[in-house]
Structure formats: C-alpha cells, structure tokens
Amino acid sequence: MTAPVFEDFDPARDCDCPGCVQERRAGPGLASGRPRIRPATCGIVAVAAASAVLGAVTPAAALAPGRPAVVKGLRAPDDGESDTPQGAKGPLYGPKGKPAGPDTVPIPATTRTKIIDRAKVWVTAKVPYSMDTYWTDGYRQDCSGYVSMAWGLPGNEWTGSLDQFGVKITKAELEPGDMLLFHNPSNPEKGSHVVIFGGWTDYTHAYYTVYEQTPPHTRSQATPYPYWSNADKYVPYRYKGLTSGTKGEQSASATEAVPVSHGVPGYPGRGSFRPGAENAYVAQLGRRLVEKGFGRFYPTGPGTRWGEADRRAVEAFQRTQGWRGGAADGYPGPETWRRLFADADPGSDSSTDL
C-alpha cells in the first residue's frame, strides 16, 4: 500500500480549521526550517489522505464530527472559537458612569424593530471588540455589552446576568430580537458568548442571521444554529420588556386586521414582502396559501416574517395560473394578491403581476 503524500501547502485564507488558523498566525516561515505542510486537521488534507488510502470519498464523509457544515462565504470568528472575554456587570460608561442604584433594575419597554435597529448601528460602525472600553452610547464593547445595548438595558450586563432580563423559549419560538446565550460559569472568558437572533435565513432553520460583537468588530452574517462552537450549550431567551409595537410602528401580530375591499383584502404593497419583512400581511398571505393547498412549503406553518417558504409557496401558486419566468418569481404583486384571495379565473386576461 502506498503511503499518502502530504504536499507543501500554505494555510488557506478561507479555511477556519484550527490547523490553518495556527499556520496563518505562525507567519511565512518556521523557526525550525522544516517545510510547511497543511496540518491533518484541515479538511483538504483529510479528504486527500482518505482518498489515497481508501479510494474516493465524498467531502461530506470526511467532515469532522460535531462541526457544522460551513456554507461557502461564511466565516467563523477570527480565532476559530468563541473566546470572548467580557467585563463584569456595571453602569454605563464603566467605573466613571452613574452607579447602578438599587438592587432591582428596571426593565425598559422596547420592540423587536428597535432591538434590531440598535444592533445594526454597531454593525454599520464596525465597533472594535474590547472588554474594557466603552462606545459613545455608554455600552461596553464586548458581546454582553452589545446585547445590553440592543435590548436598551440601563447598564452593562454580562453573560452571567443577562438571563434575568429574559425568559427561556424554544428554537421554534425564536423571533428577531431574541438572544442566544451561553454562559460558562467555570471560566467565562473561555466559551461564554451571547448574540442577537435576526431571523432564519431559510425554511430548514439550519442557519440564521446573527448580530454579534466578536473580534475584531461587530458583525452580522448567516450563522449555523445555534453557533459555530459549543452548539449544545446555547439557550434562546426573549426579552421581558418586549412590546408588540408603538405608535407609528407596524405591529407584527398575526391577528392584526388587514383592510378588506369587496371581499378582497387591500394589497399592502411590495414592501410588505421584501426579504426579512415582518408584519401581519405576511401571516395572512401564508394562511391563505395553506388554505389553497400550498402548505407543504411550511414545515412549521406560516408566520409573520417573510422567508423562503413564503416565496416558494407564492411561486407555486403563480405557476398554477400559467405564469412563467419573471411573472412567477415568488413575490406577490397586486394580481397575485387578487387571484389568491378572490379565487380569480386563471383564464383572465391579466398574465403579469404588475
């Protein structure tokens, strides 16, 4: 049997395995003078070696157990782990800030929209990660300070106290603005982390949009549920002070009434069905699609947040109307809305969804 040959490789820039991360940190040369080879922890070598000894195997078969499959273009935190050191519980602006006050900390009211909007401010600013400095809004620039900011808490909490401001929920109940929390009491600086849930990226609920403070700075991207590492230790929480909405802000309640005209609900506009939109119209559309026989696209039933399941169900309905190409793109225009709710004759003279 021929032994597998390991060629001289530079660490891949887009590989997050511990071996390649270590090699990148080591720099272009090694003190020992030995030729650099890609470590066996790298999936590329694992697949190549297995192929040489056992014959061709699929890449999926060679993935390390317990590590989430990585979608192309996604990146784990720069260090490959969630080592996110954080400061202790304290007032805004740190030691120089106003004392925390009484033991009972108030829980300010807020909405999901406000939570996500606040989270996006730091993403846009690319706030640098730090456990001992504070951003201009008074919140500590670590993971727990970030969630404290997004939830609008009166002080800087940490992973050991944030759970007091939320209630435990299940994965199926997660909605934008909730948090995923892992607190490691034995060593909070090794593994402890907390992120804001921004919504599922697909109907399989395998990936979600994350808002998080992680080295080197705040970011948002699709992330495997519940996180890259310590996947069995993250717990979903919902903020206790959450309200359904405020004056001037549209409620996301699935029971919110939609205007009706001549038996057909008024078309709310294309903006109600843009990616990531969350409102009552999405829920009403989903319920109608289920009634019309397109429920197979909803693994857990329709909700208030527009997603890929809604788009696929709408596309299937559009195709039953004889539409093809751009007319069957899965996004409901006025004609799709009218036919769906009024049981219009598929043979009517309108063939586009203007």
What is the CB neighbour count within 10 angstroms for residue 228? 21
Residues 103 and 213 in one domain: yes
Closest CA to 162 of 89, 241, 103, 101: 89
Closest CA to 159 of 77, 240, 85, 239: 85
The answer as to whether 72 is a domain residue is: no
Q: How far apart (Å, rounded) are the C-alpha atoms in residues 159 and 186? A: 12
Among 54-68, 104-118, 256-270, top mean pLDDT goes to 104-118
The predicted pLDDT at position 182 comes to 94
pLDDT at 26 over 90: no
Query: Which residue type, as a one-letter code, is found at position 12?
Result: A
Q: How far apart (Å, rounded) are the C-alpha atoms in residues 335 and 333? A: 6
The answer as to whether 79 is a domain residue is: no
Mean of the per-residue pLDDT values of the chain: 75
What is the CB neighbour count within 10 angstroms for residue 269? 12
Residues 53 and 139 in one domain: no
125 φ/ψ sector (left φ>0, alpha ψ -120 to 50, else beta): alpha
The answer as to whether 248 is a domain residue is: no
CATH of the domain at 113: 3.90.1720.10
The answer as to whether 179 is a domain residue is: yes
Residues 12 and 60 in one domain: yes
Residues 61 and 141 in one domain: no
Residues 60 and 168 in one domain: no
Exposure of 313 by Cβ count < 10 A (0-12 exposed, 13-18 middle, 19+ buried)?
buried
Residues 59 and 23 in one domain: yes
Residues 229 and 277 in one domain: no
Query: Which residue type, as a one-letter code, is found at position 296?
Result: R
Of the given ranges (12-21, 126-135, 307-316), which has the lowest mean pLDDT? 12-21
pLDDT higher at 122 or 201? 122
The answer as to whether 73 is a domain residue is: no
The answer as to whether 350 is a domain residue is: no
| Domain range enclosing 28 | 1-65
CATH of the domain at 312: 1.10.101
The answer as to whether 81 is a domain residue is: no
**Per the structure block, which two tokens stand in for 340?**
């769906």
Residues 229 and 273 in one domain: no
Residues 274 and 303 in one domain: yes
Number of domains observed in the structure of the chain: 3
Query: Which residue type, as a one-letter code, is found at position 185?
Result: P
Residues 213 and 293 in one domain: no
**Per the structure block, which two tokens stand in for 335?**
């004609």
pLDDT in tens, 148-187: 999 999 999 999 999 999 999 999 999 999 999 999 887 7
Query: Chain-centre distance of CA 354, in angstroms?
Result: 32
pTM for this prediction: 0.53
Residues 58 and 142 in one domain: no
**Per the structure block, which two tokens stand in for 115?**
């939570």
The answer as to whether 83 is a domain residue is: no
Using pLDDT thresholds of 50, 70 and 90, give the confidence band for residue 100.
low
pLDDT in tens, 187-219: 777 779 999 999 988 778 899 999 999 999 999
Three-class DSSP labels, the chain = CCCCCCCECCCCCCCCCHHHHHHHHHCCCCCCCCCCECCCCCHHHHHHHHHHHHCCCCHHHHCCCCCCCCCCCCCCCCCCCCCCCCCCCECCCHHHCCCCCCCCCCCCCECHHHHHHHHHHHHHHCCECCCCCECCCCCECCHHHHHHHHHCCCCECCCCCHHHHEEECCHHHCCCCCEEEECCCCCCCCCCEEEEEEEECCCCCCEEEEEEEECCEEEEEEEECCCCCCCCCCEEEEECCECCCCCCCCCCCCCCCCCEECCEECCCCHHHHCCCCECHHHHHHHHHHHHCCCHHHCCCCCCCECCHHHHHHHHHHHHHCCCCHHHHCCCCCHHHHHHHHHCCCCCCCCCCCC
Q: How far apart (Å, rounded) are the C-alpha atoms in residues 336 and 277? A: 18
The average pLDDT across 270-277 equals 84
The predicted pLDDT at position 239 comes to 94
Q: How far apart (Å, rounded) are the C-alpha atoms in residues 108 and 120? A: 20
Residues 227 and 115 in one domain: yes
pLDDT higher at 25 or 146? 146
